[in-house]
Structure 1
């Protein structure tokens, strides 16, 4: 009996790439010559496995007439044209929950690194500057006011860590979250004006594009710090660079950028900015859990027609259909 054919959309980790090939008949979407490849093999494909870095646009989706499911390795899925998939009844899954702690740890690490100037202090010691004088004083994270943009699973994990530091936590989300002990702000700008540090952890996509704009950055102000562990699109990157260069923002800790892996040279020149190469969930433990959940979603759909972790839009569609 033949096995289902799964299209692997690069980039995939070697472990995920190999695991898909072990369990299914696998094809790799090429970087060049995609129209000819899809015309030849498109009818064979019943499933896609991808990551946040692999674009699954309407052109790819519509070239696969027998596609039934897209299993995304990542909690964010703005790399997928979800309306195009759902319009065809194609199921889409992601990997929420399993990466909450790793991303929350990264957010806190960035905030501490910027506030305590950890990277600059390390370079100070390595350059032998300590023998010539003391390192300048820094500012504390403990007991500071921290705003969280997006109080989902990861946002709440960040908030829990900040509580242990004695921080006052507030938040802004599309809707007020019931049952949490944190003050709610009606807008991103209102939140930024009330805090010392702002952490962005909202999903990417059109609804959050440039959510952190000049108004928000100016509200955070010349002593404020922005941390972004969400998506580069969430922040108006040009406005951020200008605010930092002009001294209208105190500092930034960034794990994501607008056009990865490209990073504005102006950011690399600033010592009040800490830059990471999109490694928020990049631990051995978390990536293994993400890989397992991706494969479990794929197997579950192909075996039973159900997903373990469908994207919220699928649940919303089911609710609307049930109420019709």
Structure 2
């Protein structure tokens, strides 16, 4: 056995503070909060729906973690699982990056769509996953969302979408930007036939996603602290030659200026959505 073989089999450890000094624990067992920088067991974070028990910071959730936290057990059925991206512009290395993200996430693309029940209320659903190409919007992401909206319209279902995106996917050029119009047109048809759309913006929701389907729901919600905006802060400051407020483009700033209906803590999300679905099923009521 060579020396490199000994070290290649060594387990990775992270060092954390303890009452008796520093303690080594297997890597992946602990998770640091980006907000307060405190370290917690991953099991503890999962139990709290990836909300920091100390400061309330909302960490990202994967698409299936989000689905499992909201939908009744075994009620969710996926649509268009096999749709995958090509490389229409022959962008160098794009196919390899897509394949790498598929292996890493277990997803074929950056959005999961389908239908299921939330506390017994049936709804169509789309959820973007920021771990796949930063949730960027390519032609397949736009196509899956547009199809989900059309399915909701044809089946007379409400439609809920959770957004998390860095914006349009540059490797697909104008084909990516076209998804803004395509998804918005599908939602317009859905709305004209009396469909209910609920949009929940999570951290981050930026670029073409924020400027299209994320912002045109009948209800526009967000999670606490979510970054929401089109252009970057530095670009806006350089363009208008003014210093922007520290909380600019946060969910709290948008709520204060009338661009959101409500900020919803993750622990209250399922209850809030189920109440809205129930209210609209009955055709009235108070929320």
TM-score, structure 1 normalization: 0.28
**Whose Rg is larger?**
1
Using the size of structure 2 for normalisation, the TM-score is 0.30
Higher strand share: 2
Indicate the structure whose relative CO is greater, using CA pairs within 8 Å and at least 6 residues apart.
Answer: 1
